[in-house]
Amino acid sequence: MHRLLSGDLPRSRILTGVLLVIVAGLALAPFLFSGARPLNTAATICIYIVLVASYDLLLGYTGIVSFAHTMFYGIGAYGVGLALARVDEPTWGVVVTGLILALLLALLLALVVGLFALRVRAIFYAMITLAVASSFAVLASQLSDLTGGEDGVTFSVPEVLSPSFLLFENEVFGRYVDGKVITYYLVFAGCLLLFLFLLRLVNSPFGRVLQAIRENEFRAEALGYRTMVYRIWANCLAALVAALAGALMALWLRYVGPKTSLGFEVMTDILLIVVIGGMGTMYGAVVGATLFILAQNYLKELMAHGSSALEGVPVLAAALHPDRWMLWLGVLFILSIYFFPIGIVGKLRVRAWLARR
Amino acid sequence: MSAILPTAQADAPLPAAKRDIAPLLLVPVLMLVMLPLVGSFPTWLTLTVAGLAMGMMIFIMASGLTLVFGLMSVLNFGHGAFVAVGAFSATLVLLPMRGWLEMDSLLINLGVLAMAVTLAMVVTGLLGWAFERIIVKPVYGQHLKQILITMGGMIVAEQLIHVIWGAETIALPLPTALRGAILMGDAAVEKYRLVAVVVGLVVFIAMFLVLNRTKIGLLVRAGVENGEMVEALGYRIRRLFVAVFAAGSSLAGLGGVMWGLYKETLTASMGSEIMVMIFIVIIIGGLGSVGGCFIGALLMALVANYAGFLAPKIALVSSIILMISVLLWRPAGLYSNSRS
Amino acid sequence: MLAPEPAHDAPLLSLRGVHTHIGQYHILQGVDLVVPRGELAVLLGRNGAGKTTTLRTIMGLWKASAGAIHFDGRDITKLATPDIARAGIAYVPENMAVFSELTVRENLVLAARNGPLDGARVDWICGFFPALRKFWNYPAGNLSGGQKQMVAIARAIVEPRKLLLVDEPTKGLAPSIVQSLIAAFRELKERETTILLVEQNFNFVRSLGDSVAVMDDGRVAHAGTMAALAGDANLQQRLLGLSLDSHQ
């Protein structure tokens, strides 16, 4: 276990417990819950964990604020999605081709943006990535012939993954093991591998240099590390993982569109999760993404109840309306930055450490 | 840039007061170059006025942001909130007084607009003050947290707009006297755009005068260079920061009202939508430079308009291409005088 | 600096046991310094001894982590920099910190807190530094190093102040300008301005200073009159690693 987690143990019993529950829940999701919605939630959680963890690599470990992360996510999604949409026969070969093209594009963009902008101040870089990412999003929705525009594109997936495919004749633990379930396990396995890869990365010498650069770039340079090179590597790796996450999402949804893949909403979600979960911890992505997606799907119902209960009260009713869930998230986000700069995971770890003394 | 050491003789040459002319020429040169490319004068005039109008409005919105950054090294990623709040606050005057706006009297229309703008600027100024105290001050000096927390502030502000004003978009038709166009020969120039250009020029000149002819302006210009030394001269620069922040927010509110009227609709996300353009403009102009911001805004808007006419395919990315071109020429923007 | 003076001659500035930390570096390790009223006190020491840090701590730009600083009867240890400046201290930093985008005139106007520039005083200053008059309306950034130094000092004296803190004014300056500086400091002393001067150039200060303190490793290693130090070559050698007439 120690080696599997690359030596980066949770270091807190509560955290370990929570993580085990999450992993078990995700691993057995098709059989623990029935229906499409919980499975969809589970798949989204898996993918967001990887998406946010790859962002944590940039933000938490290297100290780079980038707004272009969703762009790479979208590139991965569109790469696979458009490839599958354009052909008559959705084969694995098509999937792989689309994926490779997407990864190449992501790598290229990450390199170009990195080389151009990573040597300037962090603030400059943040603004430039914002500009680049939104241009890309506008481009994607405008080139509707190619990308399906605002509405996006639906497509078929390889036979094994399609819902009509049945692996076994009979139900297993109450669920037919159809293409959807198989896709789910593809997503789950893929995300697990990617997460463990990231964990290994941040606990390697490479990861330590990144953290050194985040803490004190000047000193890192003085020690002989070419910080630019490291940051570009981090940028590219994060972009590639995000693209892979996007590809998985495309396979799951069998749909790509600017709102789900490229919108600024996704970027804000990532930021919220990474800060609330805990920057620079990797596990923060796990805990944060789970809480966030669960809340996004199920908390809104609660809010709707609250809102109708407060029907007459003018401002409060509007404030509790489920569409306003971003308001509360935003407040929580701001409070997190003040009071939990280390996030949930950080807090749990500090608690455990203090308890041990 | 060192001058010749003064010798004992009285006729030693004085150092040249180096003036950076090149950026000042960009806008006029662009306009002139485009004339033959566009072909017809009326079309060129329409495009140019449209570009200038849009540029002025973006300048008004962006100027506060760049000044705050130059002075305080604070980049307010939530600046768009002031744009949106300004526009929505104006509706508190503009909607009830719809009748007056529909009258075809320039004086009355402008009067109502003036009231709306004043309200918007007061509200956003106060919001700016509160924003600085509550959100920005605690993370002073930590750029990473600043970016995150100001973004959070904008999200909350936008959501509050939804809560207070409702989620739908609000239509904001132009006042009657400002609708339509003036005919200049073959060219039709929209009245509102002319108003925007005038207002933009007034704001720019006012800022220029304040910065260059008043002691406060002196403090701001000195503070942009070396805030510590300004403190060592006995000035409490923190108070100046807050004042500049509030003033910048106020300007963003003004810009928001103008922008809302320009588009004739308001949405809660109008602020964040415009942030990208504002960022491009202040990057082009150079963080901290009001003059650079002015030129950058005009350039960006003009390029977008000309490109939209000449080469619609690249129009979308024209702003990015412009930004990259400027950065290749001057990596820190057109004018950069703040500490690097 | 001599032993504590009797009450009616209370020193204008006194530091007692001042420590300053910058990050994790413990720069000032218990500085004791006394500057009598009306004197030109000199702070000597090699690079890294803590001289600049001492000035910045007095000015409040860095906060003392321990100890007390008293100025003109007040405890200024915890005051904010603008308030320290308003108490009557003017600071001329090592890098001059002249505002490049502002003209010479604007630099001085900014420094004149109490109202418009006093024409007579400006004339007096331009007497030492004629270049100021010549470049009055030029951006200060266009000036040479020596001229900028003049601007920085002019800024500090454009209104009467009780104490001037000056950090290595002669660094990199031509000898003729150094002469102007010496004349200026002499006249300032006559006008009852107290000066604390940080220098590495011993020859510049030996005829100028009344009292001297030598710093080493964040502490004052020696304090006494300038006359005593100037006359004792062995002491100079020991404290400053100098032989006579070295240092340009």
Q: By percentage, how much of chain B surpasses pLDDT 70?
A: 92
B316 to A331: CB separation less than 8 angstroms, yes or no: no
Q: ∠B51-B56-B61 over CA atoms, to 5°?
A: 130
User: What backbone phi and psi angles, to 5 degrees, belong to C118?
Assistant: -85, 110
Work out whether strand C64-71 and strand C13-22 pair parallel, antiparallel, or are unpaired: antiparallel
Number of structural domains chain C divides into: 2
Nearest to B157 by CA among A330, A201, C45: A330
Q: What phi-psi label fits residue A66: left (phi over 0), alpha (psi between -120 and 50 degrees) or beta?
A: beta
- The answer to the question of residue C93 being in a domain is no
Per-residue pLDDT reduced to its tens digit, B137-190: 888 777 778 888 898 888 899 888 888 887 668 888 888 777 888 887 777 888
Residues of chain B with Cβ-Cβ distance to C61 below 8 Å are 228, 231-232
Residue A191 to residue B150: CA distance in whole angstroms: 32
B148 → closest Cβ in A127, A134, A271: A271
Which amino acid does the sequence have at B64? G
- Residue A176's beta-bridge partner residues? A171
Is residue B231 predicted with pLDDT exceeding 70?
yes
Is residue C170 predicted with pLDDT exceeding 90?
no
- Please give the mean pLDDT across all residues of chain A: 83
A331 touches B169 (CB < 8 A): no
- In this prediction, residue C197 has a pLDDT band, given cuts at 50, 70 and 90, of very high
Q: Does residue C170 share a domain with residue C84?
A: yes
- The answer to the question of residue C117 being in a domain is yes
Note down the domain range covering C229. 1-88+164-242
pLDDT for res C243: 47
- In this prediction, residue B4 has a pLDDT band, given cuts at 50, 70 and 90, of very low
Whichever domain contains C168, its CATH number is 3.40.50.300
B148 to A324: CB separation less than 8 angstroms, yes or no: no
Per-residue pLDDT reduced to its tens digit, A314-341: 767 677 777 777 888 888 888 888 887 7
pTM: 0.81
- The answer to the question of residue C248 being in a domain is no
Take residue B273 and report the two structure tokens written for it.
Answer: 């939508």
Which residue of chain B has the CA closest to C147? B5
Is residue C67 predicted with pLDDT exceeding 90?
yes
Residue C148 to residue C140: CA distance in whole angstroms: 7
Per-residue pLDDT reduced to its tens digit, C90-138: 999 988 899 998 999 999 999 998 888 888 999 999 988 888 999 999 9
- In this prediction, residue C248 has a pLDDT band, given cuts at 50, 70 and 90, of very low
Q: What is the dihedral of CA A209, A215, A220, A223, to 10 degrees?
A: -100
Which amino acid does the sequence have at C166? V
Q: Does residue C171 share a domain with residue C65?
A: yes
Q: Does residue C80 share a domain with residue C3?
A: yes
List chain A domain ranges.
13-356
pLDDT for res A157: 79
- In this prediction, residue B16 has a pLDDT band, given cuts at 50, 70 and 90, of low
Radius of gyration of chain B (CA): 21
pLDDT for res C104: 93
Q: What is the dihedral of CA A244, A249, A250, A256, to 10 degrees?
A: -110
Per-residue pLDDT reduced to its tens digit, B85-143: 999 999 888 888 888 777 777 888 888 888 889 999 999 999 999 998 888 888 877 77
Residue C216 to residue C221: CA distance in whole angstroms: 6
Dihedral sign, CA of A215, A217, A220, A222?
negative
Per-residue pLDDT reduced to its tens digit, B270-329: 888 888 889 999 989 988 888 899 999 999 999 998 888 887 777 778 888 888 888 888
- Residue B183's beta-bridge partner residues? B188
- In this prediction, residue B18 has a pLDDT band, given cuts at 50, 70 and 90, of low
pLDDT for res A198: 92
Least confident of A162-166, A221-225, C206-210: A162-166
Residue C197 to residue C186: CA distance in whole angstroms: 12
C143 to B18: CB separation less than 8 angstroms, yes or no: no
Q: For domain A13-356, give its CATH number from 1.10.3470, 3.40.50, 3.30.70, 3.30.450.
A: 1.10.3470
pLDDT for res B14: 54
Q: Does residue C136 share a domain with residue C58?
A: no
Take residue A23 and report the two structure tokens written for it.
Answer: 């992993």
Q: How many CA atoms lie within 13 A of B74 on its CB side?
A: 27
Using CB atoms within 10 A of its CB, is residue C200 exposed (0-12), middle (13-18) or buried (19+)? middle
Q: Does residue C36 share a domain with residue C115?
A: no
Distances in whole angstroms, Cα of residue C236 to Cα of each of A195, C33, C39:
66, 19, 21
pLDDT for res C247: 46
Q: Does residue C177 share a domain with residue C130?
A: no
List chain B domain ranges.
38-323
Q: Does residue C185 share a domain with residue C156?
A: no
Per-residue pLDDT reduced to its tens digit, C178-190: 888 888 888 888 8
Take residue B170 and report the two structure tokens written for it.
Answer: 């609000």
- The answer to the question of residue C234 being in a domain is yes
Nearest to A140 by CA among A148, A131, A128: A148
Q: What phi-psi label fits residue C74: left (phi over 0), alpha (psi between -120 and 50 degrees) or beta?
A: beta
* CB contacts < 8 A (A, B): 97
Cβ-based neighbours of A275, under 8 Å, separated by 6 or more: A333, A336, A337, A343, B148
Q: State the alpha helices, DSSP H only, in A217-342.
A: 217-222, 227-253, 258-261, 264-277, 283-294, 300-309, 314-320, 325-339
Q: Does residue C181 share a domain with residue C76?
A: yes
* Residue B175 DSSP one-character state: P
Neighbours of chain B (3+ CB pairs under 8 A): A, C
Q: For domain B38-323, give its CATH number from 1.10.3470, 3.30.70, 1.20.950, 1.10.10.
A: 1.10.3470
pLDDT for res B32: 83
Q: What is the ipTM of this complex?
A: 0.88
Per-residue pLDDT reduced to its tens digit, A41-90: 899 999 999 999 999 999 888 888 899 999 999 999 998 888 888 887 77
Mutation for B interface: C81, C163, C166, most B CBs within 10 A:
C81
Take residue A28 and report the two structure tokens written for it.
Answer: 């057995």
Q: By percentage, how much of chain B surpasses pLDDT 90?
A: 29
pLDDT for res C20: 92
Is residue C6 predicted with pLDDT exceeding 60?
no
